[in-house]
Structure 1
């Protein structure tokens, strides 16, 4: 299967999850708006979600996958199964202990870590604590599911892991639909959503568990034992968890800072949901596929293939994310209005969330490139260097967020996030080049400026088109008129961008054909 086809397999599942996620957020915005219950739920959900990204997706997609793939090559499926059982026993024990500790400490965690700004509002504080207690077991389920997903990705079975997150949104949509049917108040909706999150963790774990069994690996429980493989995994996993979860670290810190203003946490969460669509569909797909592919090429000594994988991944991500970044920057407010502005979500909320989303658009290429650069380190079992850069990015984020929040409120936090993202991306890229792990690729170097120019021209045209279609995008225009106008603008922008990209040579049909039909090089290939 070609690189692009593998990207498409993962992206299709992620896209489905994001579409259902939009539906969930639209219903939630209508039911809760940016009020105190929405703030409590988003703050409570941020905590287990952050740990999931840090210790599940970050650690296992970065540290577990190369070791698991190496075990498959060295000892076959039986060896990989033994290694998985060793890891599962340790991981389950750690997660059980962590869950018990966090559940008992939740009031202190909310007070000092998650949302210290809620302390003066007793109802909001108590709701946040209760919801976080309900949802925290979701972490254990998703951490185990991440391990199973890493196994599936190493076995070239991408779809089950990509489709499992859809069920979080499906379950929460069902909860919101039931709440609307029963006429429940905001507080009841918030608690029902919290229970829905926990149930979805069990469902997602079951999906990937059965997929692994169908792939020929049946994992049994072993008492935790620190074998050599487990020790190696832990050595790699700690810095990989910090590195892979840098965005989540920043979001948790920013949630803490934003708790000082009512509605700020929810505004950031609603903007993040939209911004996660291109980031998730493209960035996660590239990171998921590139790591096992790159690790395999390096283990076989195929340096030329490894370099080609990295370059084509960057080419692919920029080709798709640059126009998305331009569109978010220019037309964020109309997008937010048609998605959220109804029920308890006001016009003032639309303007606030739209401003945040426009800023996120500027950072989109950085966060997608980070996901394309990190496998270049992780596949070589270097998790320390990215961890150092992640720490630098956290310092940049915290410093700017604390400085800008009193001046710019929520938009100051969003600005801090994207500056930190670009800092991290540049440090990763410069280091890869300096170490000789990123070969000079003339086609890539000539295409990137042309893609940037094409996206910029598309953005300028879109800006004037929005002004021309102004009446159809006004808040008092019928919803169907606004939807048709936005879809028309998106469609015309895509046509213009692709015409410019292909016309200037930023993209070519030959490039696409080569990526779609790409076959692995012989193991003996090496870099020139």
Structure 2
């Protein structure tokens, strides 16, 4: 566990700074464009490059590319360098072509993801923003491939710190837009849209440059290679077919959620896609800092153990990752459940946002907080299959999840009052990953001949027992402040500092007394760093 903890700590530090600057970026975005028509148009356009990149490469990286690079490094006489160069060549050429096609087809793509009751002007604004943002896809590809190669060399710092540069660039752009732009979609100009769109893309370009420099420093030299025959990429294509299915199924579910959320926003302004998107971004903060860091460190090592036929070590690696992730995700989820509205009040109550808009996002975030544990464990379980090169089972799990989530979301849309629809969509997400996690655990356990479910359940029980008093303490602080005064930005900040700080300290103290080994390991790591 110590190696994973050290690697995860390095990544978590970078991710924490990245997510905190992302907080600032998200708050500035909300202040600049709001959660009404222009905010919905921007968020819809912003999602399109990520959707296309996810469809074409992102899912393949973790499920296929990283394990194959590891095997090529072990198998090939040149340590896998030629294989890496071929992969980079395909990423650059293929995603550049996709970016060009995406710009040409921006209008029909936007129409696919927006609600039928959007006005012609709103769709055109979103399309214009999408045209400025779609070139990001090519830079996404270069950066992501560079990050994957760095991870297989156990160089985790740059991929986690590079997004900080992206955020800083976009923060500057949003400050400029707040000073000269408008949140009124009827008054927005082409100059305003150019600043928002090109400025957002500039952040991704800067992020890619950082990763390219880091890759150069570890000795990688890019040389375009098109000699694909006999390179082993045929195996990658076969494996990737199921990954593409997995991603496509997930994106189909995302399409349903987006259309329902945008429709809800037309029926209840301020309670639509922007509210869902902002709450989901905040939900990703603890997941990104904690779970992604551990997952990134775990997958290459699990892949090596499986390639060597050492399933015992692979099981130990997974069990250690689950316990380490849960030790931090459990209290984070319960504290979000209690403090979600305070978090969003501090972040979003500025500019063109009202306190009411911010509180609504907080209520959505509370539901997402409950989903932190099942969602994180589900993502860890997927890596069990990926370490075996099995991409078919995750595709089947995705089909189950999307079917359940879409069904529940449609029911929420048709039955709930408009202002509660997005909260219903978040609840559908929670139920889906809770059910999906149980199914995935059963299948993964068969795959790797046991996952130690009783031991993990016992560890989770101790963590929840330690976290419940922490959440109760935070709730007590919230209740006390609300009894004394109304919730404003200042009082919400007091609740966060006092309630969140007291809750975390109480959790660490109780977990330490209950001898939760992961908490003791974290305390030991911090103490050793402080003592130097």
What's the TM-score once normalised by structure 1's chain length? 0.91
1:390 — aligned with what? 398
- For 1:264-283, list aligned pairs within 5 A: 264-283=272-291
Instruction: State the alpha-carbon separation in 2 of the partners of residues 447 and 141 from structure 1.
Output: 41
1:69 — aligned with what? 70
Choose from 136, 147, 150 the match for 1:149.
Answer: 147
Superposition deviation, residue 443 in structure 1: 4.8
1:469 — aligned with what? 481
Choose from 208, 211, 229 the match for 1:208.
Answer: 211
Q: Map Cα deviations across residues 174-214 of structure 1 (whole Å, 9 max, x no partner).
A: 00122234466653555422212222222222221221221
Gap change, CA 1:481 and 1:418, over 3 Å in 2 = closer
Gap change, CA 1:118 and 1:282, over 3 Å in 2 = farther
- Secondary structure of 1:117's match? coil
Gap change, CA 1:156 and 1:241, over 3 Å in 2 = farther
- For 1:187-202, list aligned pairs within 5 A: 187=188, 189-202=192-205
Superposition deviation, residue 372 in structure 1: 1.5
- For 1:15-30, list aligned pairs within 5 A: 15-30=16-31
Q: Map Cα deviations across residues 138-169 of structure 1 (whole Å, 9 max, x no partner).
A: 11211221111110000011111111122221
Gap change, CA 1:445 and 1:344, over 3 Å in 2 = same
Choose from 267, 292, 304 the match for 2:312.
Answer: 304
Instruction: State the alpha-carbon separation in 1 of the partners of residues 455 and 443 from structure 2.
Output: 21
Superposition deviation, residue 80 in structure 1: 1.5
Instruction: State the alpha-carbon separation in 2 of the partners of residues 220 and 453 from structure 1.
Output: 55
Q: Map Cα deviations across residues 44-81 of structure 1 (whole Å, 9 max, x no partner).
A: 111111223343332112211111111111125x3412
Deviates more, 1:425-434 or 1:296-305: 296-305
Instruction: State the alpha-carbon separation in 2 of the partners of residues 182 and 509 from structure 1.
Output: 48
1:223 maps to 2:230: no
Gap change, CA 1:204 and 1:245, over 3 Å in 2 = farther
Kept in 1, the 8 Å contact 2:89–2:226? The answer is yes
- Secondary structure of 1:165's match? helix
- For 1:36-51, list aligned pairs within 5 A: 36-51=37-52
Instruction: State the alpha-carbon separation in 2 of the partners of residues 258 and 460 from structure 1.
Output: 32
Give the superposed CA RMSD: 2.5
Superposition deviation, residue 436 in structure 1: 4.0
1:422 maps to 2:422: no
1:332 — aligned with what? 340
Superposition deviation, residue 224 in structure 1: 6.9
1:458 — aligned with what? 470
Gap change, CA 1:195 and 1:11, over 3 Å in 2 = same
Deviates more, 1:23-32 or 1:504-513: 504-513
Kept in 2, the 8 Å contact 1:142–1:205? The answer is yes
Kept in 1, the 8 Å contact 2:4–2:294? The answer is no
How many residue pairs are counted as aligned between the two chains? 512
Q: Map Cα deviations across residues 464-504 of structure 1 (whole Å, 9 max, x no partner).
A: 331122156623x4x44431332111110011112222233
Gap change, CA 1:411 and 1:510, over 3 Å in 2 = closer
Kept in 2, the 8 Å contact 1:117–1:259? The answer is no
Q: Unaligned stretches of 5+ in structure 2?
A: 528-532
Q: Map Cα deviations across residues 327-353 of structure 1 (whole Å, 9 max, x no partner).
A: 111121111111111222123212321
What's the TM-score once normalised by structure 2's chain length? 0.90
Q: Unaligned stretches of 5+ in structure 1?
A: 518-528
